[in-house]
Chains A and B, each alone.
Chain A
Amino acid sequence: AQKITQTQPGMFVQEKEAVTLDCTYDTSDQSYGLFWYKQPSSGEMIFLIYQGSYDEQNATEGRYSLNFQKARKSANLVISASQLGDSAMYFCAIQGADKLIFGTGTRLQVFP
């Protein structure tokens, strides 16, 4: 069985600052993938970044980076230089041999 835990129900950050969204996971699979999705108020889930369990380097995609600490089973998302358009729900998810499992999400609000 797999599980994702996101302990921050809400986060506030000022525009242009960096913010870290926490994600811890539990899995018995040796090979798995970790994903972050953004869900604006419009409802669509937007894929942001992926990290494979065997990847040695932390994934980066533009302003998004994933702080992957395998021994701690954490996969935190770092957003640099926050923008007002980053305000949304953010979901961490894990997929091993089975289905994609999502956490409960973190609501990020960026203020001017």
Chain B
Amino acid sequence: NAGVTQTPKFQVLKTGQSMTLQCAQDMNHNSMYWYRQDPGMGLRLIYYSASEGTTDKGEVPNGYNVSRLNKREFSLRLESAAPSQTSVYFCASSRDSSSYEQYFGPGTRLTVT
């Protein structure tokens, strides 16, 4: 039982490059989330998926797209990376939209030069 897994763990991109961050959970959770964490800013919600087949914007969605591939997987795509997107990205899941308890993955540290 791995919980929430994320790949890759580290990534360096050049400005304008694209990439997809992968997230998977094995807890049979319905809801999944993507956050970014920046020094002095705390965790900020980028996108979330309340259930399979739905996605919605969070606090800071600009520059990102997401795909809820199936119940287990939720990916985050940067189409044209910018230095402002340098951050640590966390994926999380919860049982459903009424559950307050989130389970986080280990994070992806992304640097955009």
Q: Do A and B come from one complex?
A: no
Which residues of A does B touch, CB under 8 Å?
A: none
Which residues of B does A touch, CB under 8 Å?
A: none
